[in-house]
Structure 1
Amino acid sequence: MLLEIKDLHVSYGAIRALKGVSVQVGEGEIVALIGANGAGKTTTLRTASGLIRPQSGDITYKGKSLIKMPPHQIVSMGISQIPEGRKVFTRMTVLENLEMGAYIRKDKDNVKADIRNIFQRFPRLEERKHQLSGTLSGGEQQMLAMGRALMSQPNLLLMDEPSMGLAPMLVQEIFTIIKEINQTGTTILLVEQNAHMALSIANRAYVLETGEVVLAGPAQELANDPQVQKAYLGE
């Protein structure tokens, strides 16, 4: 397994956010975490990124434990996170945001080529490359957040609510891009409230409820599960 989350326990003060969560992500997969607000999806990603320290449990990447590693070291190992709410640097231009994504890289000559690749994937970003990112639309900011994360050349991309606040037409476009990114060889762990869309592109999925995994399996099987349909797909 590329990423293994084993029996993870996380608390915020007296609140137990994760109660023994275990998730596996294989090389080349898209794995989705679905569930209601407050189920522990974002906490799982933030712990994998090194932003939160767990009480117990382990997270291994290529067999190596990440638990005591600082976030910048986790990024240098090939894991990049696209945070919820996009979190672009609003007072920097589109181009500067992309350059920040390559901050830890030593191969500066290849960075320019990668920026060109990002602009090929997201032509709208090229049109606005000298524009302050705070002036972009929500969809454009999401594209920029994705482009910035790809600039660190991740092997594993952690995506937190990529469709949040976007118009339905844009949601479709963003999910098409996520699939394309995966097809070029990047493994994806996806947190998404739009369960329909998440299950339509994922290989496997986990359903979280109040900090615990209550269901797991192939994405298509979960999409057809009456329990999942009733709770998350509005059917």
Structure 2
Amino acid sequence: MGKADADGPGLPDLPPEWGRVVVPNDASALADEAEQVRRELRRRASPRRRPWRPPGLPLLVLLIAVVTTVTGLLTATWPRTGRSPGPVADSPEPTPTQLTDRALPALDLVDAGQSPVPLRGLLPAVVLLVDGCPCPELVADTALAAPAGVTVVTVASERPRAVPTGTEVRALADPAGGLRAFLQQPPRPETATALLADRTGRVVLMVAEAASVSDYHAELVRLAG
């Protein structure tokens, strides 16, 4: 097997370039060398890690697109403080009391010959908007109840409507819809809207759905004062 070393019997022949080999009596004296050997073995056994490289341009563009899309979805679906719980309702129609004491606008209506007729030139007056219903009985009763000096006017949308025979009623039209816009009241089928204004042009009463002359009889009588 080999010859023993001159300084230590029992050791095999070693290469002369290793020099003199000293074997300690206590194995713990070789702990540092053993740890160094183990580290070297682990380093050689573990796979070499690749250095980190930044992603290429196409991958970076794709990543930005994904982040932008997700952010947009979150913004659109995230609940916002103060958001209305439902659709906003339309502005309510003005009540008769909201129109009372307001000044009647200076509107021009038209007669059967399409000649302009200033509304303020008919005051004091009770105006029946009959574009939703001709309501001949209501027109006749109003003309009968109106005191002297108070003009009874019917107003349709496109052209004047025929009035009951034997009544003193001024039939006019409002093609521009200025009076309806002032009242903010849409035409209603089978009923008329009544508007009463005194000699100064002040609105005394507005009845959105006039069923009979009793709905405004008291105010109609006072228009003559």
TM tier, smaller: under 0.3
Higher relative contact order (CA 8 A, sep 6+): 1
TM-score (norm 1): 0.20
Would you tell me which structure has more strand in proportion to its own residues? 1
Would you tell me which structure has more helix in proportion to its own residues? 1
Which structure is larger by alpha-carbon Rg, 1 or 2?
2
